[in-house]
Amino acid sequence: MNIRAISLVVIALVVAGLAACDKQAESPLKKVTYVDDVGPILEEHCAGCHLAGEKGAESSGLLMDSYESLMKGSRFGRVIEPGSATTSSLYIIISGKARLTVSMPHGTEPLSDEQIETIRVWIEEGAIEN
């Protein structure tokens, strides 16, 4: 191959790469939301104990019956710090990073790695409702 042919191949590859980047920019990834993604996980695994009158709600003050209740937090403060999973007590507890004698959800199977990751991403993305 001569220099001119190599130059054309390099230019073609650069143009193709830029076109691929442009296509990715046009189709952003779906945001994780409370309504679509996180709410169903919490309803299935956490809300049974964190509804008014139930043991989890009585001991912590944390209700998980709605987005608003979750964002309000517990009697100990907020459980979600939008934009920071590592400082959100909900994530710390469900991921097993807390040094508690009781793991959450209490008395049942822990959340799957995928469910924990969904909640982490949701918090990191700003903990949006929908």
> For residues 53 and 58, what is the distance between their CA atoms, to the nearest angstrom?
6
115-to-9, 11, 59, 62, 120 alpha-carbon distances in Å? 45, 44, 24, 20, 9
Half-sphere exposure of 20 (CA within 13 A, CB side): 6
pTM for the complete prediction?
0.75
- Residue extents of the structural domains in the chain: 1-29, 34-124
pLDDT of residue 25: 46
Facing residues of 77 across strands? 74
pLDDT of residue 124: 97
pLDDT tens-place values along the chain, 130 residues long: 566 545 444 454 555 555 555 444 444 678 999 999 999 999 999 999 999 999 999 999 999 999 999 999 999 999 999 999 999 999 999 998 877 666 788 778 889 999 999 999 999 999 999 8
Hey, what are 40's tokens?
A: 């169903």
pLDDT of residue 104: 84
